Structure 1
Amino acid sequence: MSHTTTIGVLGGYGAVGGAVVRRLHQNAAASLLVAGRDPSRAEKLVRSLGAGGTLAEPVAVDLAEPVALDRFAARCDLLVNCAGPSYQVLDTVARAALRNGADYVDAAGDDPTYLRLNTDGGTHEWLAGGRVALLSAGALPGLSGILPRYLADIVGSASRLDAYLGGVAPLSPAAAGDVLLSRGPEHGTPGAGWRDGAVRGNSLEPRRGLSLAAFPRPVDAFPFLATEAVRFARARQISEVNWYTAFGGSQLPEQLALSWALGNTARSDLVSAAARDVQRHGTWYGQEFHLWEGSSVEVPSCVLSLACDDSYELSGFMAAAAANAVIAGEVPAGVHFAAEVLKPTEIFQSLTADPVAELSLSSPCGSQ
């Protein structure tokens, strides 16, 4: 784009949206619209950005009001959605972007949104309009699908992946809503692993008190074969994938299990449980990937560990990187998951140079 690109960030003063805005503010070739239902919070964030960087403007937008949403989308060349819960927002904001000729990046989105955008030939609308919809551009899913791709590129012929993702963090109400609603086959399969081209139910058990480099203390790891993991396994033709959600405290997993069992959709219970874990264990987040070249090898060929203090900032890094890739014309038109079209090496190198997280790559993997 030769003119100044206008990037609208919906939910731009939230935990993830604020991180996206602060990063995109460094792009002098763009102007920013910081949008959400509360104009005072948007104004406060804009004031905190200071005089340097790109121009930023607070905008009052309620995504539940179609006219206001369309008016906002019409001002954008690129609309970055950080509003949630994503499983309630679904494709609402994406379709507003398409109607008004804007590209779209979603820090979440995930499979339910992807399926809706591909219903009844929906993806052809994006192709016909030459527009991009980039979904799952956060820490998880998103970066969690890119980092194992980076490892697989190094190894060349991988046979097995073990992944551990999680930690201890406060939950915003929107994030709590997403956690509560992230159930069912469109999200993943509890207790399952990937074996020789198929999902194998009840093939894995929880791993308790696991010590890993990505986490500052032992974690309890629960097997959950996410759809992102299945896409990775199919794309790279890996015969075995073991994908775990890691909890550094006990309150959140216990409350989550109880809420699911009772059909309780109250976000406040989950927010409180996460807060109790944070009070006891602090805030930290990690992702660790173990990759094997051969099935007979006991020790993994590569181990990549990521550790950070704030998963929301990490999602902000990822969404901003996705936005910059779209602006640079690096993403083809159509509806995509971020992990499938962004360049793993570029994301890894950018993350290595960024203070948001610490990365370590084992030898001999790191020397290849």
Structure 2
Amino acid sequence: MNLAKKTIGIMGATGYVGREAVKTLLAFTDHNIMLGGREPEKLRSIFPAMESRGDCLHADIYNRDQLYYFCSKCDLVINCAGPAKQILDRVAAAAIDQGVHYVDVAGDIHLYKQLRKRNQEIAEKKLLFIVSAGVYPGLSEVVPAYVAETYFDEIDLLAVFFAGQGGFSLNAAYDIVCSIEEDTGLGMTYCKNGAAQKIEGAFHSSYELPSPAGKVDAYPVLNPEFKQIAARYKIKSAYFYNTYPNKSVLNKFVMIKALAQYKTEEQKKASAKILVEQYAEKKKEAGDFTMLHLIATGNKNGKYLELVSNLLYKNDWNTLSGIVAANAARLVAEGNRERAGCFFLTEGVNAAQLLELLSERNVGLSIHFSRGGRG
């Protein structure tokens, strides 16, 4: 592994996700840091430690010359800016043209498809581009990938539950509304033998997850990143559940979808505001947390195996997304580049190595065998 100092640039460092990405890189690496934004002085005031580690440049994402100049000063760029649906591939395209590696927290399938059109060029330049490098999607695929690679030869059934308490920025909520409009995540759908399959039956179910999540309402949804993981490891039946602390939260999503409250920019912004306000109504006794709960059955060395895994981080998903993106960039910058091209997170970095780095930030992963295996 090449441990030579690199320059890692970050766009969107003033947001919840970006701030944590910067803090992670400053605290756990020796790499030089370059921050880009429309207010460099504000960035310097937020991150006083930057004085000895790098610089802050005036770089407006919508100003091509400024953006290209910023990328030219970096070895790798992390994009934490939003809304992703408006930024699209602006930062990524600049990174390709300037010949630097790229990590995108949000990404999504549209950016992925756009960059895959330039995949040959990215690969020829020996660059690694990683999209969907946050918590969900991102870490929500890393955990099942790690479990599949480490503990199973074959998985018959996989169920992953995403739970947490935290907030959304208006930019993040705007992206969610756009995803609702585009049906990015297929509701009431699971992955059967690599293909999307509709679920018949109840609209949602209640599950009892470990503390601090407790009883939650779960809604099955299939996004492209999770479907890819299920196909990659030849999982016979794979379910992903987004969970909600109560029915009122789920109903807000249903209302936005059913009433098509996203047809105009004004409607998208209004719906985003509704989501921000809804998630601000937190259960005070729980505190912010992020959880990925996994149940898997299958076999290892010819023996039947039942496994339960739980990843818990005692802070919200925005903070954890910043940590995930920073550590993905850390692996890329430090030479973990066996392949080149554009990939989702689990294809671009090693799942076990990423989880090991996350443990430095108290992201705990427990493994329990209810039958078979070693516990």
TM over 0.5: yes
| Structure 1 Cα separation of the partners of residues 174 and 138 of structure 2 | 19
| Structure 2 Cα separation of the partners of residues 194 and 204 of structure 1 | 16
Match of 2:343 in 1: 336
| Structure 2 Cα separation of the partners of residues 27 and 228 of structure 1 | 28
Match of 1:345 in 2: 352
Q: Report if aligned partners of 2:332, 2:349 keep a CA contact under 8 Å in 1.
A: no
Matched, 1:227 2:224: yes
Which of 159, 164, 180 matches 2:161?
164
| Structure 2 Cα separation of the partners of residues 363 and 103 of structure 1 | 39
| Structure 2 Cα separation of the partners of residues 226 and 281 of structure 1 | 28
Q: Offset of 1:29 from its aligned partner?
A: 3.9
Matched, 1:265 2:268: yes
| Structure 2 stretches lacking a partner, 5+ long | none
The AA in structure 1 aligned to 2:133 is A
The AA in structure 2 aligned to 1:244 is Y
| Structure 1 Cα separation of the partners of residues 64 and 194 of structure 2 | 43
Q: Offset of 1:130 from its aligned partner?
A: 1.7
Q: What are the within-5 Å matches in structure 2 for residues 1-368 of structure 1?
A: 4-26=5-27, 29-47=30-48, 49=49, 55-119=53-117, 122-153=118-149, 154-183=151-180, 187-203=184-200, 205-213=202-210, 215-260=212-257, 261=259, 262-263=261-262, 264-266=267-269, 267-277=272-282, 282-293=287-298, 301-308=306-313, 309-331=315-337, 332-355=339-362, 357-363=363-369, 367=374
| Shift in CA distance, 142/201, structure 1 to aligned 2, threshold 3 Å | same
Deviations 1:181-222 (CA, angstroms, capped at 9, x unpaired)? 123677221001122332112336444442112643211111
User: How many correspondences in the alignment?
Assistant: 358
Deviations 1:253-285 (CA, angstroms, capped at 9, x unpaired)? 322222232333122222111112456864322
The AA in structure 2 aligned to 1:212 is L
Q: Offset of 1:112 from its aligned partner?
A: 0.7
The AA in structure 1 aligned to 2:139 is L
| Structure 2 Cα separation of the partners of residues 318 and 366 of structure 1 | 29
> What value does the CA root-mean-square deviation take over the aligned residues?
2.4
| Structure 2 Cα separation of the partners of residues 203 and 124 of structure 1 | 41
| Structure 1 stretches lacking a partner, 5+ long | none
Q: Report if aligned partners of 2:4, 2:334 keep a CA contact under 8 Å in 1.
A: no
The AA in structure 1 aligned to 2:91 is V
| Structure 2 SS opposite 1:182 | helix
Q: Report if aligned partners of 1:290, 1:300 keep a CA contact under 8 Å in 2.
A: no
Identity %: 26
Deviations 1:116-164 (CA, angstroms, capped at 9, x unpaired)? 1123xx1111112222211111111111111001111212211110011
Q: Offset of 1:109 from its aligned partner?
A: 0.6
The AA in structure 2 aligned to 1:146 is V
The AA in structure 1 aligned to 2:46 is L
| Structure 2 Cα separation of the partners of residues 231 and 313 of structure 1 | 25
Q: Offset of 1:289 from its aligned partner?
A: 0.9
| Structure 2 Cα separation of the partners of residues 35 and 214 of structure 1 | 39
Q: Offset of 1:324 from its aligned partner?
A: 1.0
Moved segments of 4+, more than 4 Å: 278-282
| Shift in CA distance, 255/279, structure 1 to aligned 2, threshold 3 Å | farther
| Structure 2 SS opposite 1:158 | strand
| Structure 1 Cα separation of the partners of residues 72 and 193 of structure 2 | 47
Q: Offset of 1:366 from its aligned partner?
A: 7.4
